Amino acid sequence: MHKHLVVAIAYDRLCTFEFGCTVELFALARPELGVNWYDFSVCAIEAGPIRAMGGIKIEAPHKLSLLDRADTIVIPGWRDADELPPDDLLKKIRVAYKRGARLCSICSGVFVLAAAGVLDGKRATTHWRYAERLAKRYPAIDVQVDALYVDTGQIITSAGSAAGLDMLLHLVRSDYGAKIGNQVAKRLVVAPHREGGQAQYVSRPMAHDEAGRLAKLIDWLRANPAQPHTIKSMASQALMSPRTLQRQFQEATGLGPIEWLIRERVAIAKDLLESPKIPLVQIAELAGFGSQESLRRHFRRLVTISPAVYRKRFSGNL
């Protein structure tokens, strides 16, 4: 079987953390998953050895020509948002885009895609510190300031360093389904999916007792998704007023309580749909939607496909 080739781009002054996340996700063999896992390699945009942050030196095994057969290309940050990437790299990115390769950037890596022109007319994100600079320099890009990552289909961009991990796990879920994505996240000891945007990570004051009550509420909601939650009932559970709950929830997660809960329920439904034996009506009840109609409406809105199509794509042997 053809293996999906993921290629990470390396360069002098490489962003070590973002590169390491990419290696961790795609380079490790994962025989326990029982799927046709990715092939992974690295190509360099310049002669080595490459100096990475932290004093590390890297010898990349391939040159830019490897991008000609890559199925997914990951740009793990870029060394300087104000430095124009080399023409050879930009040409390879354009060619890869035209032939249908998937292009992904972490943090400042979006500036490479922007310079190549493949983001014109599309939504994209980057670290909140770079968002204004990106929007001013490339006005044809619809910069999503708050997003952890933006998936437009062929191009996926992510915010600051750790958001790259969210995006890479999203790629795994998109390729292999929620069950496999959850297993990989478990091995990494990270959350399978973080809700909300990066605005929640911009420093803002929150009283210690309110933060503690909110964390306990979120844990309780995750343990009891099928109950008929309302703003009033959640506020009562958290020992807050409804107004305080909505404000603190928005600041902590980037989402209102109801929208956050809907997304949690959709994530549960995705996991359950990968078993062909559980009826849709039961999945709707277990996930807390109450009806198949509600499940279908919210699932299509957030996943862009119906539960039936998702089940057909990801249930059974992958």
CATH of 5-188, one of 3.40.50.261, 3.30.200.20, 3.30.1360.120, 3.40.50.880: 3.40.50.880
Residue 189 identity (one-letter amino acid): V
The HSE-up count of residue 41 (CA atoms within 13 Å, CB side) is 18
Q: Is the peptide bond before 49 cis (omega within 30 degrees of 0)?
A: yes
CA distance 224 to 212: 18
pLDDT at 276: 82
Strands (DSSP E) found in 46-151? 50-52, 56-58, 72-76, 102-106, 123-124, 142-143, 149-151
Per-residue pLDDT of the chain (318 residues; tens, 9 = 90+): 689 999 999 999 999 999 999 999 999 989 999 999 999 999 999 987 889 988 889 889 899 999 999 999 999 999 999 999 999 999 999 999 999 999 999 999 999 999 999 999 999 999 988 999 999 999 999 998 878 889 998 999 999 878 889 899 999 988 998 889 888 988 887 766 665 555 444 334 444 556 678 888 988 998 899 999 999 999 999 999 999 999 888 877 778 999 999 999 998 999 899 888 899 999 999 999 999 999 999 999 988 889 998 888 887 543
Contacts of 279 (CB under 8 A, 6+ apart): none
**CA angle centred on 293, ends 290 and 296, rounded to 5°:** 105
Of 112, 60, 110, 61, give the one whose Cα is nearest residue 85.
112
The dihedral of CA 295, 297, 298, 299: what is its sign? positive
- Do the domains spanning 5-188 and 205-318 agree at the CATH topology level? no
The amino acid sitting at 111 is F
pTM of the model: 0.73
Q: What is the CATH number of domain 205-318?
A: 1.10.10.60
Sorted by where each begins, the domain ranges of the chain are: 5-188, 205-318
Task: Say what the pLDDT of residue 240 is.
Answer: 92
Q: What is the pLDDT of residue 202?
A: 39
Query: Residue 302's pLDDT is what?
Result: 87
